[in-house]
Structure 1
Amino acid sequence: MSDLGDIERKAGRGLRWSLLGNVVMKAGSFVMSLVLARILMPEDFGVFAIALAISQFVIHINDAGVISATVQWRGRLAEIAPTATVVAIASSFTLYGIFWLIAPFYAQLAGSEDATWVIRILMATNVVYGLTAVRSAALMRRFEQDKLAWANLAGFAANASVSITLAANGAGAYSFAWGQLSGAALTGVLVVVLARVRISFGFDRAVAARLLAFGLPLCVGLGVEGLLLNVDIVIVGDVLGPAQLGLYLLAFNISSWVPGLVGTAIRYVALPSFSRLAEEGTASIEAGVRRAVPLLASIVLPIAVLMGTLAPALVGVLFEPHWLPAAQVLRFLAIVMAVRMLNLLITDILAALGATRATMWVNLCWAVALVPALLVGARLDGIEGAAMAHAVVAVLLALPLLAGALHRAGVPPRLFLSGLARPVLAAAVAGVTMAGLAMVVDGPFVQLCVAGGAGLLVFALVAVPRAVLQQLVRQGRAHARL
Structure 2
Amino acid sequence: MHEHQGAETGERSSAEADAEHLEAIGRKAGRGFGWSLLGALATRAGSFLMGLVLARLLSPADFGIFAVALAATQFVMVVKDIGIMAAVVQWRGRLEDVAPTATTLSMISAVTLYAVFWVGAPYFSALAGSAEATPVVRILTSVILIEAITAVRSATLLRRFHVGKSSKAVLAGFLVNAPVAIALAANGAGPYSFAWGQVAGAVVTGVLMLVYARLPWRMGFDRPTAAKLLWFGIPSAAGIALEVVLLNVGYIIVGAIMGPVWLGFYLMAFNMSSWVPGLIGTAIRSVSIAGFSRLAERDEASLSIGVQKTVPLLVAAVLPLAVLMGVLAHPLIHYLYGDKWGQSAGVLRFLAVLMVLRMLTSLALDILNGRGATRSTVWMNLGYGAATIPAVIVGTHLDGIRGAAIGQTAAALLVALPLAMTAVRLAGVRLTPILPSLVRPLAGAAVSCAVTAALAALTRGSDFLQLAVAGGAGFLVYVLIVVPMEQIRMVRDQAVRRLRAALVRPHPVPAEATSKES
> TM-score higher than 0.5 here?
yes
Q: CA deviation at 1:423?
A: 1.5
Letter in 2 for 1:447: Q
1:478: Cα distance to partner?
A: 4.2
Q: Is 1:12 the counterpart of 2:44 in the alignment?
A: no
1:161 to 146, 156, 179: 179
The one-character-per-residue Cα deviations of 1:420-475 (angstroms, maximum 9, x if unpaired) are 33212211111111111111113111111111111111111111123433433443
1:457 aligns with 2:476: yes
Aligned residue number for residue 219 of structure 1: 237
Could you list the per-position Cα deviations for residues 62-106 of structure 1 after superposition, in whole angstroms to 9, with x for gaps in the alignment?
111111110111111111000010111111111101111110011
Partner residue in 1 for 2:261: 243
CA pair 92-459 structure 1, distance change in 2 beyond 3 A: same
Question: Percent of pairs identical after alignment?
Answer: 52
Match status 1:389 vs 2:391 = no
SS at the partner of 2:458? coil
1: CA distance, partners of 2:226 / 2:343? 49
Name the aligned partner's letter for residue 178 of structure 1.
W
Q: Structure 2 matches for 1:36-115, cutoff 5 A?
A: 36-115=54-133
Pair 1:444-2:450 in alignment? no
Between the aligned partners of 1:185 and 1:56, the Cα distance in structure 2 is 17
Q: 1:377 aligned to 2:395?
A: yes
Stretch deviating more after TM superposition (408-417 or 156-165)? 408-417
Q: Residues 27-63 of structure 1, C-alpha deviation per residue, up to 9 Å, x if partnerless?
A: 1100100100100000000000011111111111111
Q: Deviations over 1:379-422 (max 9, x none)?
A: 11110110111111111111111111111111122144334332
Q: What one-letter code is carried by the residue in structure 1 that aligns with 2:427?
A: A
Residues 224-373 of structure 1 aligned to structure 2 (within 5 Å) = 224-373=242-391
Compare CA radii of gyration and give the structure with the larger one: 2
Report if the CA contact (8 A) 1:286-1:415 is conserved. no
CA contact (8 A) 1:437 1:447 kept: yes
Tell me, yes or no, if structure 1 residue 170 matches structure 2 residue 211: no
* AA of the residue aligned to 1:91: S
1-structure distance, mates of 2:121, 2:430: 44
Partner deviation per Cα, 1:262-314 (whole Å, 9 max, x = no partner): 11111111111111111221222122112211221122111111111110011
Q: Is 1:194 aligned to 2:244, yes or no?
A: no
What is the Cα deviation at residue 109 of structure 1? Answer: 1.0
Please give the alpha-carbon distance, in whole angstroms, between the structure 2 residues aligned to 1:439 and 1:230.
34
Distance 1:174 1:116, change over 3 A: same
Query: With structure 2 as the length reference, what TM-score do the two structures score?
Result: 0.91
C-alpha RMSD of matched pairs (Å): 1.2
Structure 2: segments with no counterpart, 5+ residues: 1-18, 502-518
Taking a change above 3 Å as real, the CA distance of residues 419 and 120 of structure 1, as seen in their structure-2 partners, is farther
Q: CA deviation at 1:162?
A: 1.0
Map of 1:417 onto structure 2: 435
* CA positional deviation for 1:344: 1.6
| Distance (whole Å) between structure 1 residues aligned to residue 29 and residue 451 of structure 2 | 35
Cα distance between partner residues in 2 of 1:7 and 1:194:
22
SS in 2 for 1:95: helix
Residue deviations 1:193-250, cap 9 Å, x none?
1110011111111111111111111111111001111111000001011000000000
Separation (CA, whole Å) in 1 of partners of 2:434 and 2:240: 22
**Greater displacement, 281-290 / 405-414:** 281-290
Q: Secondary structure at the match of 2:453?
A: helix
Matched residue SS, 1:193: helix
Indicate if the aligned counterparts of 2:308 and 2:431 stay in contact, CA closer than 8 A: no
CA contact (8 A) 1:441 1:447 kept: yes
Greater alpha carbon shift after TM alignment, 285-294 vs 219-228: 285-294
Return the alpha-carbon distance in structure 2 between the equivalents of residues 418 and 186 of structure 1.
46
Write the letter of the residue equivalent to 1:452. G
Contact 2:81 2:148 in 1 (8 A): yes
Q: Which residue of 2 aligns with 1:210?
A: 228
CA shift at 1:480, angstroms? 5.2
Q: Distance in 1 between matches of 2:283 and 2:83?
A: 19
| Alignment match, 2:424 | 406
1:74 aligned counterpart, secondary structure: coil
Aligned residue for 2:154?
A: 136
**Aligned residue pair count:** 482
Q: Conserved in 2, the CA contact under 8 Å of 1:290 and 1:419? A: no
* Contact 2:232–2:374 (Cα < 8 Å) also in 1: yes
* Unmatched 5+ stretches in structure 1: none
